[in-house]
Amino acid sequence: MKPLGIYDLFGISLCYLLIAWIPSLLLAVSGTLVAIMLRFIRRPLFGPVLKASWLFAILLLLSGWVFNIVWNVLIFGRLYWAFDYAGFECSPFGLIIYSEVNVPAQYFHGMTAGTIHGLWAVYAFLSWGTAAWATYAIMKRKWVICDVGAKATI
């Protein structure tokens, strides 16, 4: 098994985006439901929670996409090979390796399923952590839009 080429990585990363937007959308919708509930309890929190939930979902999709490319370069094809999902089985929401149920020794190159799942835990931590940190950093900024001619502060 040879490592994936640059065109393979491009195609797999597009497949990742086509598949991973669905759980990201569900995450954003659940954040919207929380924001709607907060509107009745604490009205001032509605806007920031709504913005933060959608921002976090988008940033999780993007950080998962970037780290998925890193996963495909460093781990997939080198430490294990599962042709059934061809590299886009790894997302921040879970790791799907169908072949470990059927014939694990055939697909893992000297690795165990536990080791691959441990590496996925690092991937998930980096994806969720990056999205959380970026959401916090963006939401923390105070953007003030002033009238024309007045000073704008950032």
Q: Which two tokens stand for residue 128?
A: 């969720």
Per-domain residue ranges of the chain: 6-140
* Top-ranked range on mean pLDDT: pick from 23-27, 106-110, 117-121: 23-27
Which of 60-64, 65-69, 76-80, 105-109 is the least confident region? 105-109
Q: Which residue has the tokens 């998925």?
A: 68
Q: Which two tokens stand for residue 113?
A: 């399923």
How far is 122 from 125, CA to CA, in rounded Å?
5
**Average predicted confidence (pLDDT) for the chain:** 76
Q: What is the per-residue pLDDT for 83?
A: 52
pTM: 0.75
| Spatial CA neighbour of 135 closest among 57, 22, 32, 42 | 57
How far is 114 from 123, CA to CA, in rounded Å?
14
Q: What is the per-residue pLDDT for 88?
A: 54
